[in-house]
Amino acid sequence: MLTLYDWNLSPNCFKVRWVLAELSLSYTPVDVDIFSGQGQQGEFLSLNPNGKVPVLKDGDTTLWESNAIILYLARKAGQLLPADPGQLAMVDQWLHWQAAHYYQPVIGLALEHMLKPMFDQAADAQAVQGHTREFNRLSKILDQQLSQQNWLVGDQLSLADIALASTLFARQQVGLSLSGLPYLQNWLERLESRSAWQQASR
Ligand SMILES: N[C@@H](CCC(=O)N[C@@H](CS)C(=O)NCC(=O)O)C(=O)O
């Protein structure tokens, strides 16, 4: 039995929900109200000492870090990962890039455009400018890759596409613009039309 500790607007939780849907795995969702401090309480901290969602429990296995969770699920199912070692390494490359680079300006913009207004705070214009510049720079790298192929790695959907596209979930609320990125937009539209994307967008 799988249990997912979840928060609906989190791109990292969305990423896990999407993989669960692609693999047709049923699970019990547990909503963690990260704004009321529920994530920082003893019971949740015993699952993830970082106090962050997502967390997946599968029997005796408790896992945090969304990319570790989706790798676990995909390896167990034998799906969404290429068999070729070189292509597999490229999936790893994109997963590391997503967490270390692409996610960073997005979370920065989420803080300025989504979280601060919730607490009646104004966005910091300089921070918005810096994060937007970095988001645009990194998005061009993705757009360039997708100008040459339909999927980030190989010729079919893999965890690389899921991890990167999940970062763009809730992009309206975060204030991300994809203008001037035609290949990225086309790829995202194809992914958004998948039934697993729609099931995960709860
Ligand atoms: N690198 C982590 C990031 C997890 C993360 O930042 N989760 C956010 C929601 S998107 C969270 O729980 N924030 C609550 C907090 O920091 O208190 C992952 O990929 O799972």
Phi-psi region of 29 (alpha: psi -120 to 50; beta: other; left: phi over 0): beta
Ligand 1 atom closest to Cα of residue 32? 12
Mean pLDDT of residues grouped by 10 in the chain (202 residues)?
A: 95 98 98 89 94 97 98 98 98 98 97 93 96 98 98 98 96 94 98 97 85
Quick one: tokens of 164?
A: 């990167």
Distance of CA 116 to the CA centre of its chain: 21
Q: What is the pLDDT of residue 66?
A: 98
Q: What is the pLDDT of residue 202?
A: 76
* CA pair distance 142, 134, nearest whole angstrom: 13
Q: What is the pLDDT of residue 37?
A: 85
* CA pair distance 169, 173, nearest whole angstrom: 9
154 CB within 6 A, ligand 1 = no
Residues 6-30: tens digit of each pLDDT: 999 899 999 999 999 999 999 999 9
**Contacting residues for 69 by C-beta, under 8 A, at least 6 apart:** 16, 19, 54, 56, 63
53 CB within 6 A, ligand 1 = yes
Q: What is the pLDDT of residue 99?
A: 98
- Domains annotated on the chain, with CATH: 2-77 (3.40.30.10), 85-194 (1.20.1050.10)
Other CB atoms closer than 10 Å to residue 123's CB: what's the count? 16
Residue 158 CA neighbour count, 13 Å, CB half:
23
